[in-house]
Amino acid sequence: MKLHEFYQQVRDISMQMVSPLETEDFIPQPAYFASPPKWNLGHTSWFFEEMILAKYQRNFKPFHPMYNFIFNSYYNTLGERVSRQNRGSLSRPTVAEVFTYRKHIDAQMMSLLDGQELDPALTALVMLGLNHEQQHQELFFTDLKYTFSVNPLYPAYTKRALCEDVNEDSDDFITVEKGLYDIGHSGQGFHFDNERRQHSVFLEDFEIRKSMLTNGEYIEFIENDGYKRFEFWHEEALAWIKEEQITSPMYWQKREDGWYQYTLAGLRKINPAHILTHINLYEAAAFAQWKKMRLPTEFEWEAAADQFKWGQRWEWTESAYLPYPGYQKASGAVGEYNGKFMVNQNVLRGGSVATATGHSRKTYRNFFHASVGYQFNGIRLVRS
């Protein structure tokens, strides 16, 4: 696919995704992490305007003098901005005005990309912008799910809940033998700077489960007092459980006739055969302890990834999010994309039902704080 075609495809998908929404749904932000759909649409457009058009377009003029302030997420290089938790305070610009902004940016971008030999640096930036937009497409689903979940009306975004039956071989483990493994991205295709450079990691023997954990297996953990037995939990996890009075995963609730969970199709009875999701690292690690197993390191995961099916859940690893050997942040705003988060974050691997098609790969590193459960994250077990 040509770059301008890929551009058009990704941008169109963002607009298709919001088509089931009411105007009102574009606005609220019930938690600092749950950005409103309107902000996501504006921010991804601003990314192209500020990172590409401002540099490559002759006589560039910002679409609106305040949009850099409103739609900048976390780029200190690019100046002051609306603080993250206040994105839901803004009724203006209206949804229609943000759509107009998107069309304006698309027109500018298409005329930049069309009909000329592209500078490789420009191509790289456009690819970054499109992958960035795909990341926000995923966030659109997870943010909207959170926003709808706090509404006592439990609105449905879609008719199909984002979950899938688990494959059947739940007890099968894949054996991986000790030795040096190549970790990280080595090819020419698009990848983030945090996947580089490819390097050797020595792994000991381990076995990794073919299938992911199911709801049914996790219910067993709950019903065996899993949330009350401190010996399975990290110390800071116990503080979280106590302070937030946690007794089950995010979006779950127990009713008289069993367990329910809020899904993007509304409140639904939990199917024990479905793959578990919305588990944070504390819960994933405690479950593994209970099973006398553990979570994989990100290196074990990558070394074995060709041998199991992945892509339905972001999978927690035991690894902290740290730079690979030789990692250097780029200069300027692009350098703020990944490197500055490399402390107190944990790596997830794979991709989820909410991830854009073709966006992830086996070297892809997602990262979140241990307490985050609003992503479609799950558990894959390892034993030594």
Which range, of 55-63, 147-155, 165-173, 261-269, touches a copy of itself by CB under 8 A?
Answer: 147-155
Is position 77 an interface residue for a copy of itself (rule: CB under 8 A)? Answer: yes
Structure tokens at 128: 């970054």
How would you label 135-156 residue by residue, b for 16+ Cβ within 10 Å and e otherwise? bbbbbbbbbbbbbbbeeeeeeb
Longest dimension (CA), the chain: 66
Other Cβ atoms less than 10 A from the Cβ of 80: the count is 9
Which range, of 105-113, 210-218, 248-256, 281-289, touches a copy of itself by CB under 8 A?
Answer: 281-289
Please classify residue 309 by burial: count the beta carbons closer than 10 Å to its beta carbon, then call 0-12 exposed, 13-18 middle and 19+ buried: exposed
Length, in residues, of the chain: 384
Ranges within 100-139 binding a copy of itself (CB under 8 A) = none
Q: Is the dihedral of CA 86, 87, 93, 94 positive or negative?
A: negative
- Choice from 1, 16, 19, 22 touching a copy of itself (CB under 8 A): 22
d(CA 249, CA 230): 17
Q: In 3D, which of 327, 380, 374, 337 has the Cα closest to residue 31?
A: 374
Structure tokens at 371: 């307490």
Q: Which residues share a beta bridge with 252?
A: 261
Helix (H, G, I), strand (E, B) or coil at 349: strand
- Choice from 95, 105, 113, 356 touching a copy of itself (CB under 8 A): 95
Edge-to-edge strand order for the sheet containing 382-383?
Answer: 173-176, 206-209, 382-383
For a copy of itself, the closer of residues 317 and 355 by Cβ is: 317
Q: How far is the CB of 172 from a copy of itself (least distance, A)?
A: 22
- Choice from 3, 127, 322, 334 touching a copy of itself (CB under 8 A): 322
Is position 175 an interface residue for a copy of itself (rule: CB under 8 A)? Answer: no
For a copy of itself, the closer of residues 30 and 272 by Cβ is: 30
For a copy of itself, the closer of residues 250 and 281 by Cβ is: 281
- Choice from 69, 79, 111, 169 touching a copy of itself (CB under 8 A): 69
Q: How far is C-alpha 313 from the chain's CA centre?
A: 10
Binding mask 331-370 for a copy of itself (x = CB under 8 A): ----x----xxxxx-x-----------------------x
Is position 231 an interface residue for a copy of itself (rule: CB under 8 A)? Answer: yes
Q: How far is the CB of 326 from a copy of itself (least distance, A)?
A: 6
Is position 216 an interface residue for a copy of itself (rule: CB under 8 A)? Answer: no
Query: Who contacts 215 (Cβ-Cβ below 8 Å, separation ≥6)?
Result: 259, 270, 271, 272, 273, 274, 275, 276
Is position 90 an interface residue for a copy of itself (rule: CB under 8 A)? Answer: yes
Is position 86 an interface residue for a copy of itself (rule: CB under 8 A)? Answer: yes
Contact criterion met (CB below 8 Å) for 82 and 67:
no
For a copy of itself, the closer of residues 7 and 232 by Cβ is: 232
For a copy of itself, the closer of residues 196 and 359 by Cβ is: 196
Alpha helix (H) residue ranges in 114-176: 120-149
Which range, of 119-127, 218-226, 228-236, 354-362, touches a copy of itself by CB under 8 A?
Answer: 228-236
Q: How far is the CB of 160 from a copy of itself (least distance, A)?
A: 20
For a copy of itself, the closer of residues 199 and 210 by Cβ is: 199
Query: Who contacts 36 (Cβ-Cβ below 8 Å, separation ≥6)?
Result: 26, 27, 28, 29, 87, 88, 143, 147
For a copy of itself, the closer of residues 93 and 351 by Cβ is: 93
For a copy of itself, the closer of residues 16 and 331 by Cβ is: 331
Contact criterion met (CB below 8 Å) for 140 and 26:
no
Q: Which residues bind a copy of itself (CB under 8 A)?
A: 22-30, 38, 66, 69-70, 74, 76-77, 82, 86, 88-95, 147-148, 150-153, 155, 180, 199-202, 204, 230-231, 233-238, 281-282, 285, 294, 318-320, 322-323, 325-326, 335, 340-344, 346, 370, 384
